[in-house]
Amino acid sequence: MILLDRVTKLYGKDTKPALNRVSLHIEPKEFVILVGTSGAGKSTLLKILTREERPTSGKIVVGGIDYDSLKKKNIPLLRRKIGVVFQDFKLLPQRTVFENIAFALEIVGMSNREIRHTVPKVIDLVGLKGKEDKFPNELSGGERQRVAIARAVVRQPKILIADEPTGNLDPKHSWDIVRLLEKINRYGTTVLLTTHNKDIVDKLKRRVITIDHGKIIADVAQGSYKQG
């Protein structure tokens, strides 16, 4: 599902590589935690997966799409396969919970009728029933992250990238979000989570990939969830 073969990323000619011959294989429906100190290369790896950045060398295949032969016009198709959530939520402040989620469907041309049918289901999934008409500033941090997750999964991506989703949350809300990611993973979405929260890494018992200076220095399977 996600395949990286000796991926190297140099931002400048004389700089050290942000990624240095990284090879990685993530199966469909896996739940993987990516850890590493600041500057290790985590964001670069995620940006390469979403095609925000291109590698200097190496091969990438995600969900059957070979990035070498990926045409510009097919990038939206790739982005539909990958949902992303961030530490700072990135919600639209002038839009309600419902509208924030609906927006992800409007931009791909879904009809209002389909939107009215689809959005409540995902609001239910993330546990925000009754909050549809609230604005982001009327919500707690944990609730805002739920909206961001709902928006990321409403188009049913194959992969959910969660980049430090608990970075702004207290421990209780952090665990609520992690449990929600696990629920989404159980429904069949591959989850790639980056976190600095050691408690989460230790207790989740999932595959943990450690990056340091642009290299994978550890890749430990800890009873990662596999179906079948």
Enumerate binding residues for ligand ADP (CB under 6 A). 11, 18, 36, 38-44
Q: In the bound complex, what is the minimum distance in angstroms from residue 86's beta carbon to ligand ADP?
A: 12
Strand partners, 192: 32, 161
Q: In the bound complex, what is the minimum distance in angstroms from residue 48's beta carbon to ligand ADP?
A: 9
> Does residue 42 contact residue 194 with C-beta atoms inside 8 Å?
yes
> Which residue's CB is nearer to ligand ADP, number 40 or number 119?
40
Q: In the bound complex, what is the minimum distance in angstroms from residue 31's beta carbon to ligand ADP?
A: 20
> Which residue's CB is nearer to ligand ADP, number 35 or number 105?
35
- 99 HSE (CA, 13 A, CB side): 10
Q: What is the DSSP string of 111-170?
A: -HHHHHHHHHHHHHHTT-TT-TT--GGGS-HHHHHHHHHHHHHTT--SEEEEESTTTTS-
> Which residue's CB is nearer to ligand ADP, number 95 or number 196?
196
> Which residue's CB is nearer to ligand ADP, number 99 or number 219?
219
Q: In the bound complex, what is the minimum distance in angstroms from residue 4's beta carbon to ligand ADP?
A: 14
Q: In the bound complex, what is the minimum distance in angstroms from residue 161's beta carbon to ligand ADP?
A: 12
Task: Give the torsion through C-alpha atoms of 42, 158, 139, 169, to 10 deg.
Answer: -30
Tokens of 175: 């665990």
Cα separation, 35 vs 125, in Å, equals: 27
> Which residue's CB is nearer to ligand ADP, number 46 or number 150?
46
Q: In the bound complex, what is the minimum distance in angstroms from residue 56's beta carbon to ligand ADP?
A: 12
> Which residue's CB is nearer to ligand ADP, number 5 or number 164?
164
> Does residue 207 contact residue 224 with C-beta atoms inside 8 Å?
yes
Q: What is the DSSP string of 79-114?
A: HHHEEEEETT----TTS-HHHHHHHHHHTTT--HHH
